Amino acid sequence: MSGANFDSERDLVLEREIPVPVEKVWAAWTEPEHLMQWFVPKPWSLAACELDLRPGGVFRTVMRSPEGEEFPNSGCYLEVIPNQSLVFTDALEAGFRPTQEPFMTARLTLKATKIGTLYRAVAMHSGPENAKKHADMGFADGWGKALDQLVELMS
């Protein structure tokens, strides 16, 4: 997974250098008690999450709107390289079983820097229409606010 190329028509990216050590960023992504606190932009929240941190393991979250409506999301991990890379998709359930309506695969890469971490999150889509849909849903703002929350939590 780590060798795939960026496709400007189908992929959305958030890249930022943040003042948080790689190990703490990794913990924020891989420990449910941390993920629950920052993963969705406030006033949204996570009602639940289940993480089985291995290729084929479940990555499941339930997002809750400010009005209390819940939106379950389920997928599986494809790649887990501690403190370096995390790849997950909703195209597959746990155990690599295909889903009915895949939307994206996400690749998170972390690299240590002098001030903390070079954080790069790429949302890969099957076609330009899904990338546009995700952009219109507020990818840049939402993922950016969530990253701000991660930095605040882990600093």
Q: What is the per-residue pLDDT across 24-53, written as a single tens digit (0 to 9) for each? A: 999 999 999 999 999 999 999 999 999 999
Q: Per-residue confidence at 101, pLDDT binned at 50, 70, 90?
A: confident
Q: What's this model's pTM, rounded to 2 decimal places?
A: 0.93
Q: Is residue 48 situated within a structural domain?
A: yes
Element (H, E) at 90: none
Exposure string of 69-93, with b = 16+ CB inside 10 Å and e = fewer, is eeeeeebbbbebeebebbbbbbbbb
Q: Is residue 135 situated within a structural domain?
A: yes
Structural domain of residue 28, as residue ranges? 11-154
d(CA 104, CA 44): 21
- Structural domain count of the chain: 1
Pull the structure tokens for residue 39.
């993963």
The domain that holds 130 is classified in CATH as: 3.30.530.20
Q: Is residue 130 situated within a structural domain?
A: yes
Q: Percent of the chain having pLDDT more than 90?
A: 92
Q: Does position 98 have pLDDT exceeding 80, yes or no?
A: yes
Query: Nearest Cα to 144, choosing from 113, 123, 116?
Result: 123
